[in-house]
Amino acid sequence: MPAVRLDAVSKVYGRGATSLLALDQVSLSASQGEFVCLLGASGCGKSTMLNLVAGLDRPTAGTIETGGKQIAMMFQEPALFPWLTVTGNVELALRKLDRKKRKERAAELLDVVHLGGFAKKRPHELSGGMRQRVSLARALAQEADILLMDEPFGALDAMTRDLLHDELERIWRERNLAILFVTHNVREAVRLGDRVVLLSSRPGTVIEDYTVELERPRRTESAEVAKLAGEITVRLKEEVSRHGR
């Protein structure tokens, strides 16, 4: 069974004449250990899809199956509590453990994201990339099988984003995670994904599903990544133009 399966999922907001169809008959699956990137124009329902998979909202029609697997979600903004230390923010996801085990586990996770020396710092003392590392550690603290990521690196500079790509890829491999990763950056999608799923403009539905057969490790600036990203960009522009007409 796939780690995540969406079968003919639709989502409507509102009722009557003012209703909005955000997703239309979306069918999609991701296996355990598979990295799937979701691309599409703004408003095509990418974030809506993640919210539905996470159980933060319910589909209007269709079914979503995750096999009872643990799900964690990471957003573009780190959403850290400013009055808590780095350790305190990670411990929020470890409340089921006793105090000693919480601190031990938080320390382990901070080492995983290479922030072991910043445990006592507060968010305002960290760079944007470091705050996203804390957010990632907090997501990993949930011992998830499925990681949902909604443009987590969109606000970062290119060099920081590239470093976090490497970290995420390493953690994904080590933990055999199923990842659904929303992005507007086509090269980022090709750099990270086993597959790149392209959604139509609103209402969102799957129009292309690209298998990325490039060897890892990949570099965003490589000719191979650029070539496939160019092909996907052409298709994306066609869809945006069609919607505009």
CATH number, position 201: 3.40.50.300
Residue 4: inside a domain = no
Q: Hey, what are 209's tokens?
A: 């599903």
Same domain, 122 and 153: no
In this structure, the answer to whether residues 45 and 148 fall within a common structural domain is yes
Judge if 137 and 231 occupy the same domain.
no
As for how many domains the chain has, the answer is 2
37 with 90, same domain: the answer is: no
Residue 66 within any structural domain of the chain: no
Q: Say if residue 94 is in the same domain as residue 167.
A: no
Instruction: Summarize pLDDT for 67-82 with one digit per residue, the tens.
Output: 889 999 998 888 899 9
Quick check: 245 pLDDT over 60? no
Is 2 inside any structural domain? no
- State whether 159 and 107 are in the same domain: no
Within a domain: residue 67? no
Residue 207 resides in a domain: yes
Residue 221 falls inside a structural domain: yes
Q: For the chain, what is the mean pLDDT?
A: 92
124 and 210 fall within a common domain: no
Q: Quote the domain boundaries for residue 85.
A: 80-143
Specify if 98 maps to a domain: yes
The answer to whether residues 123 and 154 belong to one domain is no
Query: Do both 138 and 153 map to the same domain?
Result: no
Give the model confidence (pLDDT) of 177-217 as tens digits.
999 999 999 999 999 999 999 999 888 999 999 999 999 99
Residue 244 has what pLDDT?
A: 59
The answer as to whether 10 is a domain residue is no
Q: What is the pTM of this model?
A: 0.93
Claim to verify: residue 226 and residue 200 sit in the same structural domain: yes
Q: Are residues 207 and 101 in the same domain?
A: no
End-of-domain residue from the set 112, 127, 143: 143
- The pLDDT-based confidence of 118 (bands split at 50, 70, 90) is very high
Q: Which of 92, 117, 143 is the last residue of a domain?
A: 143
Are residues 217 and 191 located together in one domain of the fold?
yes
pLDDT at 238: 87
Domain end position, chosen among 105, 120, 143:
143
Query: pLDDT digits over 12-62, tens only?
Result: 998 888 889 999 999 999 999 999 999 988 778 899 999 999 999 999 999
